[in-house]
Amino acid sequence: LKRIGFAEKYVTVGGANVYAVFPELKGKVLLSVLLLHGAAFSSETWQRIGTLQFLLKQNYFPIAVDLPGLGKSSKTPITDRNGFLSSLIKTLGIEKPVVISPSMSGRYSIPHFILHPNELSGYVPIAPVMDSTFSDQDFKKSNVSTLIIYGENDVGTLEKNKVLSAIPNSRVVMIPKAGHPCYLDDTPLFHKTLLDFLRSLK
């Protein structure tokens, strides 16, 4: 198997320098997968647990970014979170990615999911921070295929999952014995669950 390296670059979005890591790859891929992260983590987490390598091996095009103020990205505060991911996706030159969004990154992904659904091929919220400006009705209107993942021991997710489950084309998967960053507690099951979802997308 030919080893493909990962490249890194900075892109400017909303006045912030955003760090991104992605495969050095030419050729046909099935779908782009944009990996966000929680407050205590960064793009490096996805490299460390092998998610980028796993997705690439399955012929997907994974891109992990450091959100503004975290990791290797600049500390610039983002005033317009509602349009941030839309600008980021355009600037990265990817089309209709699947967005994976744990915890704090929900502040960016939920506005994007509600306001720009046609820019997504799928959505994977993992105990995301919820944006109170959107109602249950907003989630009910969505047509984006959604995989809701949470850890069994993450008690704070049950209320969130009630709201997220209003998304018509959604399903919920619980990772047994896992905590808030459930993808760290059982990475193989997380990867398998994610791959099944990606394969189900048209």
Taking each helix axis from N to C end, the angle separating 81-92 and 106-115, rounded to the nearest 10 degrees, works out to 80
29: Cβ contacts below 8 Å, ≥ 6 apart:
59, 60, 61
Return the C-alpha torsion angle 39, 44, 46, 47, nearest 10: -170
What's the pLDDT score for residue 26?
Answer: 59
Span of 5-19, 33-47, 93-107, 184-198 with lowest mean pLDDT: 5-19
- Residue ranges making up the domain that contains 60: 6-200
Distance CA 16, CA 83 (A): 13
CATH of the domain at 101: 3.40.50.1820
Residue 74: half-sphere exposure toward Cβ, Cα within 13 Å:
13
pLDDT tens digits for 66-116? 998 878 898 887 777 889 999 999 999 999 999 999 999 999 999 999 999
**pLDDT over threshold 80, residue 63:** yes
**Is 107 domain-assigned?**
yes
**Tokens 């960016």, residue?**
108
How many domains, the chain?
Answer: 1
**pLDDT over threshold 80, residue 28:** no
Annotated catalytic residues are 103, 154, 180
pLDDT tens digits for 133-178? 898 899 999 999 999 999 999 988 988 999 999 999 999 999 999 9
**Is 1 domain-assigned?**
no
Distance CA 175, CA 187 (A): 10
